[in-house]
Structure formats: structure tokens, C-alpha cells
Amino acid sequence: MELRPYAPGDEAAILGLFELSFGKPLAEAFWRWRFLDDPHGEPLIELAWDGDVLAAHYAVSPTTLAVEGERRPASLSMTTMTHPDYRGQGLFGQLATRLYGRLAELDHVAVFGFPNAQSHRGFVRDLGWSDVHEIPMLRLPVATAVALDAADTRVVNELDPSFDALFERCRRLRPVLGWRDAQHLAWRYLAHPVNDYTIVAAPTGYAVSKRIGDDLDIVDLLVVDEDAGVMRSLLGGILAASPTAGAVNLWMTLASPLHLELERIGFVPSEPTTYFGVRGLAPTSVDLGDVRTWYYAMGDSDVF
């Protein structure tokens, strides 16, 4: 068995293993967007080969965290796959050990992610991850919501330097949050090859939504000083841009005062619940395993 990093030309085998593992194809355009176009860094993928057969795969997506306002490289844990004929041989653990060693050499502060129910146990038991939280989906049936207006909001289709200035004002909002400058937002949402997102901006905040059936997922939300009035206007702007939505879903940390305002508006915890975990790779001044240190949104995951 040969264990080695990804090399250009491995894409066909990776896409083939994905379809074999999950029973559905992965669009090459999506794979290239996620791994080759990522503005945070080069692909970070480890592969196990048995001759010409790709036996196992583990990838992380390079990203950036603001840790007490300072820029720190990090990684979002992504796809784990093992060929059916090679399961039970410990290949995933071997690939993860190799990959985490590479991340440490690259000074990544941590690898974090949102394991599903099948993989969560292995990450915690075998790979040294710490559970941060089980994130509930906050859900608001639109018919029961308090009145929300869209004052001082607008739908935007391109991101100008004002979004960089906005993030500069928010990068110390919590001890740890994902980097959200204009370049990141443009790649993550506007350049996405599969999903269509709506970005609504205010002078001191923005919200990003995605329609899924009759629901709206608020996949990102950032407001200077966590101002509840601005958040209400942004939610009003999102609903105005999609007036037929039946419900709105989002994530919000309990550590944020915005959570209390969401409760007042009518949001309640519901299913699904999502595991959130982390493995530290370098010393930090904050406890990455404490959910109170984090600001997170659905868009920090690769699922939404």
C-alpha cells in the first residue's frame, strides 16, 4: 500500500471513489472549486493506493481563523472515504496521522469540523478530537415571527472593499471565528458552482441565505457589535428577497447576545443537531474546545 499526498491527475480516481462510497456522483466542478480554487491554500489530501486502486482518501480544506483577532491558518475536515474492499484495515487513521503531521508543519493552529453520526465516534476516540458542541438548528416558522422590516438593507451581487472593512470591525467579535473578508465570501458563496446564495447587506452587517425547498437557511450572519436591530433588519431583508419562504433556519452560538434576540423573534431549537469538534495542532491563548470561544455559522461547514 502506497500512502502519499494528492498529485494533479488524481481527480478521476477521487471522484470514482466518492461515487463508490456514497452512491452518488460528485461534480468535478464542485471538487475543483473546493480544493483547487480555495483562496486559503493548496489542496491538503492524503491517499492510500493499492497499485492502481485508490483504497482510501482523507482531505481537509485549508481555511483561516481569527484567534483573538490574529490571522491563523487552520483546516476544515472534509471527506473521508475507504473503498469497500479495504475497510477495517485502519487506513483512515494512518492517512489522518500523516495529514495532521503535515498541517502541524504548516503551522495550522487546528483542524475542526462537523462530523456526521457515522464518523463522530472515530474522530473523538481515535484521532484526538475534542467535542465542542452539539449545534441545534434554530428554526423560525415565518407565520409566527414578529414583524421584521428591511430598513437600510440591500441585495448585493458583488463584494466591494466595504466587506473587508466590515470584517475588520468584527474579527474580535468572539475569541475564535472563521475569516470572512471579501475574498473569502466571494469564493464561498458567489463562486459556488452548485448552490445559489443571496447576500443581503446593511452598513454594519450582512446575511447570506440559501433556499432549500420551502425553507431558507441563513448560512452566514455577521453584525458589528452584535447589534440586534441590525440583525432584525438583515433577517427582514432576507425574507423580502424570498417572500414565499415557510421557515428560516440558522445556527447561533449561545455565547452571542444575538441568540436571545432570535428567541424573542420566535426561533426555537429543532432538528437536526450537528456535531462540532476540533483538534488543536499548535498552542493558542484560548481554549478551542470551549464552545463559548467560537462564533460559527452554517457556512463554516462544507454541507450548507
pLDDT at 238: 97
pLDDT at 220: 98
Residues 162, 197: Cα–Cα separation, whole Å = 19
pLDDT at 52: 96
pLDDT at 107: 97
Beta-bridge partner residues of 155: 200
pLDDT at 246: 96
Q: What is the pLDDT of residues 236-248, one digit of tens each?
A: 999 999 999 999 9
- Specify whether the CB–CB gap between 55 and 1 falls below 8 A: yes
Residue 177's H or E segment, with its range, is strand 176-178
Cis amide bond preceding 43, omega within 30 = no
Q: H helices within the chain, ranges in order?
A: 11-22, 28-35, 91-105, 120-127, 162-170, 182-185, 228-241, 258-265
Q: What is the pLDDT of residues 73-122, one digit of tens each?
A: 999 999 999 999 999 999 999 999 999 999 999 999 999 999 999 899 99
pLDDT at 290: 97
- Specify whether the CB–CB gap between 197 and 151 falls below 8 A: no
pLDDT at 143: 93
Length of the chain: 304
The reply to whether 2-135 and 136-273 are identical in fold is yes
pLDDT at 212: 95
In the CATH scheme, what is the code of domain 136-273? Answer: 3.40.630.30
Instruction: Find out if CATH 3.40.50.1700 is the number for domain 2-135.
Output: no
pLDDT at 255: 94
Q: Concatenated DSSP letters for 12-76?
A: HHHHHHHHHHHSS---HHHHHHHHTS-TT-S-EEEEEEETTEEEEEEEEEEEEEEETTEEEEEEE
Residues 274, 52: Cα–Cα separation, whole Å = 36
Q: Where exactly are the structural domains of the chain?
A: 2-135, 136-273
Per-residue pLDDT tens, the chain, 304 aa: give them: 999 999 999 999 999 999 999 999 999 999 999 999 999 999 999 999 999 999 999 999 999 999 999 999 999 999 999 999 999 999 999 999 999 999 999 999 999 999 999 899 999 999 999 999 999 999 999 999 999 999 999 999 999 999 999 999 999 999 999 999 999 999 999 999 999 999 999 999 999 999 999 999 999 999 999 999 999 999 999 999 999 999 999 999 999 999 999 999 999 999 999 999 999 999 999 999 999 999 999 999 999 9
pLDDT at 200: 98
pLDDT at 188: 98
Indicate whether this model's pTM tops 0.85.
yes
A 10 A CB-CB count for 61 gives: 21
